[in-house]
């Protein structure tokens, strides 16, 4: 069975493999064993701590194939970004230059560095092994987070965002970053991206352009990729757009990939997921396909299952194996998102 669970210290080697496989532009998993170990400890603390509201918690979860014990994917939610480390974006805007006397009017697109998403929850660290990109595994790995948000909304910022990976080539070179490197940074994109993932972000404030950037002054190649996603990221963007997340004019400061956003309570799967009471057995009732997630924290589990619903649709019937995989017993609540 394929199950989502919180990451634990025994998953460090698997997380290292995922960090290596994820490639350039996957800032949230830099290839550094010490940092990944710290991420795991931070996630364990986040799951085990009672909170009154969101702060610097990070909930990192893994997808496990229980038949082999292999960890094959990750996904995560940051509770509230930018409260401890600066969280930078470019805000895409427009400046208008107009002379009524000359009959001239020009609109010029600008990029202005900002911290506008401070305090927002972030969907991040989504990666699935290529051998498991089938049977709805990618959908489960992404959408289970909405059930977690629905169950624990007080742990997260009211606005939810997701940064989409921007355009870069197989060597990790970004057309947008090439312009920044030439004029401001003097370090290549993979290294800048690595430093950002390591939490070393002071260089951004020190070296980034302090004034708005007129995009018409960028190279044609850099202009072309502003707010565009990496080809491998298009399926993830399509899924998030179906949930109601939209691009609102903010892009990444390195590769200019778009950031999409939505209020937590407006996310489609948050609204549509519902709580049911667990029953264990095999009654003769209608069966449905659903993403199921328990309501726990340290023992959080989620899976894509075929389950039974009673006529009143207040109880969900699971097999013994399903109940064990989800760590629930009869009479306990279970949150479902029915396909």
The residues that are catalytic are 230
Let me know if 216 is exposed, middle or buried by CB neighbors in 10 A (0-12, 13-18, 19+): exposed
Tokens in use for 45?
Answer: 């603390």
Q: ∠ CA(195), CA(258), CA(123), 5° rounding?
A: 70
Look-up of token digits 């990939």: 257
* DSSP H helix total and E strand total for the chain: 10, 15
The residues, ordered by sequence, that sit 6+ positions from 99 with a Cβ below 8 Å of its Cβ are 105
Pair 3, 64: CB distance under 8 Å:
yes
Look-up of token digits 């009673």: 310
If you write DSSP's letter for every residue of 141-166 in order, what string do you get?
HHHHHHHHHHH-GGGS-SEEEEEPP-
Look-up of token digits 């994820």: 22
Q: ∠ CA(225), CA(227), CA(229), 5° rounding?
A: 75
Whole-angstrom distance, CA of residue 318 vs CA of residue 280: 5
* CA 40 to mean position of chain CA atoms: 16
Whole-angstrom distance, CA of residue 151 vs CA of residue 334: 10
> Maximum distance among all alpha carbons in the chain?
81
């Amino acid at each position: 069975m394929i199950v989502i669970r919180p990451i634990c210290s025994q998953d460090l080697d698997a997380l290292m493999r995922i960090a290596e496989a994820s490639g350039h532009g996957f800032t949230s998993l830099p290839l550094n064993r010490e940092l990944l170990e710290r991420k795991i400890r931070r996630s364990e603390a986040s799951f085990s701590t009672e909170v009154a509201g969101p702060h610097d918690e990070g909930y990192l979860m893994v997808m496990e194939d229980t038949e082999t014990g292999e960890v094959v994917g990750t996904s995560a939610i940051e509770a509230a970004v930018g409260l401890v480390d600066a969280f930078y974006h470019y805000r895409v805007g427009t400046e208008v230059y107009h002379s009524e006397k000359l009959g001239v009017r020009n609109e010029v697109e600008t990029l202005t560095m900002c911290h506008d998403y401070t305090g927002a929850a972030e969907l991040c660290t989504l990666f699935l092994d290529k051998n498991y990109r089938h049977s709805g595994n990618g959908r489960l790995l992404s959408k289970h987070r909405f059930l977690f948000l629905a169950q624990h909304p007080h742990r997260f910022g009211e606005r939810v965002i997701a940064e989409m990976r921007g355009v870069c080539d197989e060597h990790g070179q970004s057309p947008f970053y090439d312009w920044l490197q030439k004029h401001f940074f003097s370090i290549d994109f993979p290294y800048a991206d690595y430093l950002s993932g390591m939490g070393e972000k002071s260089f951004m404030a020190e070296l980034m352009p302090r004034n708005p950037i007129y995009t018409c002054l960028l190279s044609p190649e850099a202009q072309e990729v502003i707010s565009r996603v990496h080809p491998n990221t298009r399926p993830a963007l399509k899924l998030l757009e179906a949930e109601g997340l939209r691009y609102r004019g903010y892009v990444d400061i390195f590769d200019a990939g778009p950031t999409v956003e939505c209020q937590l309570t407006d996310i489609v799967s948050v609204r549509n997921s519902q709580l049911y009471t667990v029953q264990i057995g095999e009654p003769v009732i209608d069966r449905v396909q659903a993403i199921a997630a328990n309501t726990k924290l340290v023992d959080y589990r989620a899976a894509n299952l075929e389950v039974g619903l009673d006529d009143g649709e207040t109880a969900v019937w699971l097999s013994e194996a399903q109940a064990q995989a989800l760590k629930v017993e009869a009479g306990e609540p279970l949150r479902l998102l029915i396909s």
